[in-house]
Amino acid sequence: MENVGLSMEKKAPERKRLHFGSETCRQGPEPGASEMPSLKDLFDASGPTHLTYVNWNCPHHRRSVMASLVQGVYVLERDRQWNRQGPDARAPAWWRFFHFELRQVLVDAADGSIFGAVYAFQPPFHLLDPAAAASAPHHVVAFRGTIIKKGSAKRDLELDLQLVRNGLEGKSRFRVAMQAIHDTVAAAAGQHYRVWLAGHSQGSAIATLAAKTLARAGAAVLPTFLFNAPFLSAPVERIGDRRVRQGIRIANSFVTAGVAAVLQRGGGGGGVHDASFAALAAWVPNLFVNPADPISAEYVGYFDHRRKMEAIGAGAVGRLATRNSVKDLLLGIGKGGGGCEPLHLFPSAVLTVNRGPSPDFKTAHGIHQWWRPDLALECTAHYYS
């Protein structure tokens, strides 16, 4: 783990530069970097510059700032790959605009890539509305998702595979993330609710695992913002006919509950027990998904389906199915206890769905959508009982 304070933002010694049109970058990007830096890395070109005042009591403002801090981690890594330093670095604008400072970068020792950051909120001396800033976090720990560039792709894709196998917990990237969160919570001196977590795609999986670990241990319940979190399941939400979707989910619930019951009776690991699942109910993450995104879309149906199972008198089956998946039940055979707990399943959430048009996968899965001011959002709170 590498600690980086304000010195990271100081001006580096001048080096020879190359000019590409209106872009300026340092000579010698990492081998395998894209031919041209993306304008999406520039806060002034792509960021929420309209958000000149942040009301921390407003969910839209919170969403936009948290997404921007996650984007800051993406740009930190691309700055590293492009050797952009000092005044050429593009990442600092993504946190400075909202009065945050970079306190620590989280580095994966396997490839030297930056995958996370710890930010500290430094409010201006003269606030227009002190009450609105009173709800702000003191620290935010943010994690990026996969970057398909040579400098990080191999490690990122390896960890994507570990997500499918439920093996993220044993990896060094998660251990570095967990240590940073522990240190930040300890420094909060009992105000752990002022430490927020945020992540996008694979980064949201890291944030989820960390938050669930702390909540189940009774250590802390941290406000968490999960953007396009992976839901490892068949893409039922993409089926156009609502009745067909509902029928598939009902059948899947009975199959999942049946497998869990058989494994319980056979002693092969009976899945996640209700008490263990309910212990997480106090943790209510803010979950942001796009139904056009095949990676996260299943969360839309996951929560709504629980209500439908109660309505048809199959609540017990629904509750058993909602905390298990067939894949993870089978992975847990012979491991004893509860087997493998599905990372992507959790009891409660405030689900925000972007119902606006998304022309392609990059738009539907991208982090940039979440700070747009013109989103068509549908927000629903779901609590486990």
Q: Is 285 exposed, middle or buried (0-12, 13-18, 19+ CB in 10 A)?
A: buried
Can you give the pLDDT of all 385 residues of the chain as single tens digits? 434 333 344 433 333 333 323 333 334 455 544 456 678 999 999 999 999 989 999 999 999 999 999 999 999 999 999 999 999 999 999 999 999 999 999 999 999 999 999 999 998 877 667 777 789 999 999 999 999 888 888 899 998 888 877 778 889 999 999 999 999 999 998 899 999 999 999 999 999 999 999 998 888 999 999 999 998 766 666 666 677 777 666 676 666 666 666 666 655 444 455 666 777 888 999 999 999 999 998 888 887 767 776 777 766 666 666 666 555 555 554 444 444 567 777 888 999 999 999 999 999 999 999 999 999 999 999 887 6
116 domain residue, yes or no: yes
Domain count, the chain: 1
- What is the CATH classification number for the domain harbouring 195? 3.40.50
129 domain residue, yes or no: yes
Q: What distance lies between CA 10 and its chain's CA centroid?
A: 29
5 domain residue, yes or no: no
305 domain residue, yes or no: no
322 domain residue, yes or no: no
Q: In terms of residue numbers, what domain contains 108?
A: 41-235+283-299+349-382
68 domain residue, yes or no: yes
Instruction: Name beta bridge partners: 196.
Output: 140
355 domain residue, yes or no: yes
Query: Phi, psi at residue 113, to the nearest 5°?
Result: -80, 150
How confident is the model at residue 21, as a pLDDT?
Answer: 31
Element (H, E) at 380: strand 377-382
Structure-block tokens of residue 342: 């599905």
203 domain residue, yes or no: yes
- Region of residue 73 (phi > 0: left; psi between -120 and 50: alpha; otherwise: beta): alpha
